[in-house]
């Protein structure tokens, strides 16, 4: 039986985060307002590469447990995911360990790679599972529902959010725990160094001197819920995940299509799905990795999308604050958009010497008013995988931010 209901509202009722800015959502928001984190030397031996820094979670804040699951030794990524999941469920008023009907959908690109590398460097020849986080989180929350790991590279958790949105709209679930998690990895850093896409200074999207991206680790988790279900149990939503869309460049294994056509297509379709227009968008969280071509193409696509208004529409360059969290980037962006709506402001961007080819507005002097009911988020990935989604406020409807 098809129970699909595309008009079913999906709201955000719980948030959890661990990043270079600290543990918990309050520490995360305060860290953004304070100017973000700073990259640090990665504590791994044999980093024979040019760029050796990441935006790192304080090693003392990475949980020691769970250390194993189903015979698999766990690195930092699944442990971070479990900790952020517990935060999000507690925030939503759901009992951790008693969520048998709640599916888990996680984005993870490099996942458990740090444990793989430890094992291989010690002479072990067997490979361990690369992406166990969804299963580990599912076991931790007591889920008997679907456990899905999405691996669409750096847009993985953007895709995860859209999958979770569709599950609730289709009536497959009333609540979904969705997010992303990544740990440190020598292989990932080495790959970007070899590609010439790793900035040795910091992550500085839209800067004229940008030289690539810089990774960050951590986990962001979000509880999505059918609006009617949330209200029946007395939950107060932060915001609504109002619309989402995918597209694919089909242009090049790593480089974006210079035309930006598919980027514009994803943004346009996401707003249409949300039943909003471009004038409803009060801020854009761009993909903005700091790679030379990506930032220019995205800037041009945003000009096509918003016209001359792009010069007065604030962009928030999240990766300059926490690094590129790869498979978790979309989840962190969704979390950030939700907090912007809650607080009705956009934090100041990290100072940059802006590239004139990137004709967008990145407020740097201080926070600015979020003047609009929605935030548009973009996530892109190698292979031309694009997602855009829209987070919309629920002001005046008993939302958490109105408290």
Map the chain to HEC letters.
CCCCCCCCCEEEEEEEEEECCEECHHHHHHHHHCCCCCCEECCCCCCCCCCCEEECCCHHHCCCCCCEECCEECCHHHHHHHHHHHHHHHHCCCCCCCCCCCCEEEECCCCCHHHHHHHHHCCCCCCCCCCCHHHHHHHHHCCCCCEEEECCHHHHHHHHHHHHHHHHHCCCCCEEEEEEEECCCHHHHHHHHHCCCECCCCCCCCECCCCCECEECEEEEEEEEEHHHHHHCCCCCCEEEEEEEEEECCCCCCCCCCCCHHHHHHHHHHHHHCCCCHHHEEEEECCCCCCHHHHHHHHHHHHHHHHHHHHCCEECCCHHHHCECHHHHHHHHHHHHHHHHHHCEECCCCCCCECCCCCCECCCCCCEECCCCEEEEEEEEHHHEEEEEEEEECCCCCCHHHC
Q: Which domain holds residue 27?
A: 10-232
Let me know if residue 119 belongs to a domain. yes
pLDDT tens, position by position, 276-287: 999 999 999 999
pLDDT 10s digits, 368-379: 999 999 999 999
Instruction: Tell me how far apart the 2 most distant CA atoms of the chain are, in Å.
Output: 59
- Mark whether 138 and 286 lie in a shared domain: no
Question: Which residues of the chain carry a pLDDT beneath 70?
Answer: 1-7, 396-403
- What CA–CA distance (Å, rounded) separates 169 from 77? 29
Q: Domain count of the chain? A: 2
Among residues 175, 198, 232, the one where a domain terminates is: 232
Any idea how long the chain is? 403
Same domain, 321 and 343: yes
Same domain, 302 and 368: yes
Residues 142 and 278 both lie in one domain:
no
pLDDT at 403: 33
Decide which of 212, 232, 252 is a domain's last residue: 232
Same domain, 261 and 313: yes
CA distance 307 to 159: 27
Q: Are residues 75 and 164 in the same domain?
A: yes
Q: How far apart are CA 178 and CA 143, in angstroms?
A: 13
- Burial (0-12, 13-18, 19+ Cβ within 10 Å), 33: middle
Task: Supply the pLDDT for residue 382.
Answer: 83
The C-alpha atoms of residue 393 and residue 47 are separated, in whole angstroms, by: 44
What's the pLDDT score for residue 159? 97
Q: 376: which strand partners?
A: 284, 390
Tens of pLDDT, residues 109-150 = 887 888 877 777 777 777 777 789 999 999 999 999 999 999
pLDDT of residue 7: 65
69: Cβ contacts below 8 Å, ≥ 6 apart = 78, 132, 135, 136, 139
CATH of the domain at 277: 3.40.47.10
- Residue ending a domain, among 232, 258, 292, is 232
Q: Would the pTM of this model clear 0.75, i.e. be above it? A: yes
Mark whether 16 and 89 lie in a shared domain. Answer: yes
260 and 211 within one domain:
no
CA atoms within 13 A on the CB side of 45: 4
Are residues 301 and 201 part of one domain?
A: no
pLDDT at 292: 92
> In this predicted structure, what is the pLDDT of residue 251?
81
User: Considering the domain boundaries, does residue 237 fall inside one?
Assistant: no
Tell me if 386 sits within 8 A of 249, measured CB to CB: yes
- Looking at residue 108, what is its pLDDT? 87
Nearest residue to 355 (alpha-carbon basis) of 291, 284, 296: 296
Q: Would you state the pLDDT for residue 110?
A: 82
**Interval 70-88: pLDDT, tens:** 888 899 999 999 999 999 9
Q: Is the bond into 61 cis (omega within 30 degrees of 0)?
A: no
């Amino acid at each position: 039986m098809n129970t699909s209901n595309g008009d079913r509202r999906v709201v955000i009722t719980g948030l959890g985060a661990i990043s270079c800015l600290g543990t918990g959502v309050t520490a995360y928001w305060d860290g953004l307002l304070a100017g973000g984190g700073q990259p640090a030397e990665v504590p791994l031996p044999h980093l024979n590469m040019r760029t050796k820094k990441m935006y790192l979670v304080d090693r003392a804040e990475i949980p020691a447990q769970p250390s194993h699951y189903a015979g698999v030794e766990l690195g930092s990524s699944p442990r971070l995911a479990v900790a952020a999941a517990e935060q999000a469920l507690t925030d939503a008023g759901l009992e951790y360990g008693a969520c048998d009907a709640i599916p888990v959908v996680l984005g993870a690109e490099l996942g458990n790679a740090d444990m793989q590398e430890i094992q291989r460097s010690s002479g072990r020849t067997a490979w361990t599972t690369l992406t166990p986080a969804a299963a580990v989180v599912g076991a931790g929350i007591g889920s008997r529902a679907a456990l899905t790991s999405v691996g669409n590279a750096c847009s993985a958790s953007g895709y995860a959010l859209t999958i979770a949105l569709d599950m609730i709209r289709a009536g497959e679930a009333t609540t979904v725990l969705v997010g992303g998690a990544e740990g440190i990895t020598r292989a990932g850093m080495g790959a970007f160094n070899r590609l010439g896409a790793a900035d040795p200074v910091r992550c500085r999207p839209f800067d004229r001197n940008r030289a690539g991206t810089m990774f960050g680790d951590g986990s962001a988790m979000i509880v999505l819920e059918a609006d009617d279900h949330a209200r029946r149990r007395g939950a107060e939503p932060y915001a609504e995940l109002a619309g989402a869309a995918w597209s694919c460049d089909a242009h090049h294994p790593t480089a974006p299509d210079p035309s930006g056509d598919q980027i514009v297509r994803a943004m346009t379709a996401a707003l249409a799905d949300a039943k909003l227009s471009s004038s409803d968008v009060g801020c854009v969280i761009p993909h903005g990795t700091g790679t030379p071509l990506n930032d220019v193409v995205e800037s041009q696509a945003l000009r096509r999308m918003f016209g001359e208004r792009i010069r007065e529409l604030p962009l928030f360059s999240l990766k300059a604050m926490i690094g590129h969290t790869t498979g978790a980037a979309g989840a962190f962006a969704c979390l950030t958009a939700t907090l912007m709506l809650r607080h009705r402001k956009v934090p100041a961007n990290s100072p940059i010497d802006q590239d004139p080819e990137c004709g967008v507005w990145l407020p740097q002097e201080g926070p600015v008013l979020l003047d609009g009911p929605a935030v548009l988020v973009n996530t892109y990935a190698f292979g031309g995988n694009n997602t855009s989604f829209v987070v919309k406020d629920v002001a005046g409807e008993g939302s958490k931010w109105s408290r």
